[in-house]
Structures are given as C-alpha cells and as structure tokens.
C-alpha cells in the first residue's frame, strides 16, 4: 500500500517537472478521484489511483497492475465579439499539448519511481473532452503501472 502511495506522490512530482509554471500540490496534486471542485485554478492536473488487478505468479509472488488517472482541467471563457472560434481553437491546441506533455512525462518509463515499480508506466486510455461544469473542460489520460510483492 505505502509503495503505491509513494508511486502516486512521485508521479505528481514528475508531472510537475513537466509543467514548471504550475504549483506542485496546489495545481498538480493527488485526489481520491478525478473531480471538479469549487474555485479551481484556470489549469489544474489531478492524479489518482483507479482499479487494480492482482495475480499470483510463480515463486510465491503476486503481480499487481494498477491504473493511474491523470485529469487535466481547463477553464475557458468565450466572448460575444465573434472571437469564439479563435478561443476554441486555442483551447483545443492547449488541451492537446498538455495531454501530450503528460504522456511524454510518464509513458513507457519507470520515470523516477524505478526503484518502486517492477513494470514501467504505460499509457492505456484517453477520454473524450467533457465539460464538468459551465466554462470548465476535462481530459483524462489513463496509465497502467506494475508492482510485485511476496505472498
């Protein structure tokens, strides 16, 4: 349990290194689930554990594959002067670039948690962009990581 928590903490640090303009543990942080909350910053990145799967393997070991979700929240405002198309195009580019930065920071690497993981973090899924509330969009990227433990 503590190992997985340490992995999540390190993922927060690794994602924060990819976004130096965001504050670690304020705008990039762990959460029990990806969720919109009151008074969020214009950009926030939430990291949480998703489901885990355990399997017995040879030699009295147990393999654990656990999913990690990274939620990217972006607030937006559209004006009434007919510039909405430019604002939406910029927002699309921004969300795409942020998603790609998160994937580049985590995918296929042990990252800096190599002493904790037995299998590298790999990207497994990507959600559609959803609107969590008026003026706030969410994109979720799912990853899979692996641990082994003795039974």
Q: What is the pLDDT of residue 110?
A: 63
Q: Which CATH architecture has domain 2-150?
A: 2-Layer Sandwich (3.30)
The number of CA neighbours under 13 Å toward the Cβ of 86 is 5
Q: What is the pLDDT of residue 102?
A: 97
What share of the chain has pLDDT > 90, as a percent?
54
Domain assignments of the chain as residue spans, ordered by start? 2-150
pTM summary value: 0.88
The number of beta carbons lying within 10 Å of the beta carbon of residue 99 is: 19
In degrees, rounded to 5, the angle at the alpha carbon of residue 37 between the alpha carbons of residues 6 and 130 is: 95
Which two tokens mark 106? 């985590």
Q: How far apart are CA 47 and CA 24, in angstroms?
A: 12
């Amino acid at each position: 349990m503590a190992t997985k928590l340490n992995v999540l903490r390190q993922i927060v640090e690794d994602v924060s290194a990819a976004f130096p303009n965001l504050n670690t543990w304020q705008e990039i942080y762990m959460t029990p689930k990806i969720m919109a909350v009151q008074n969020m910053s214009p950009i926030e990145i939430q990291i949480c554990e998703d489901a885990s799967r355990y399997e017995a393997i040879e030699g009295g070991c147990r393999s654990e594959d656990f999913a990690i979700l990274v939620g990217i929240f972006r607030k937006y405002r559209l004006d009434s002067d007919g510039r909405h198309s430019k604002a939406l195009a910029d927002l699309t580019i921004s969300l795409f670039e942020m998603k790609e930065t998160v994937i580049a920071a985590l995918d296929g690497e042990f990252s800096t948690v190599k002493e904790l993981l037995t299998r590298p973090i790999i990207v497994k899924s990507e959600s559609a962009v959803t609107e969590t509330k008026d003026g706030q969009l969410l994109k979720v990227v799912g990853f899979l990581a692996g641990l082994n433990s003795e039974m």
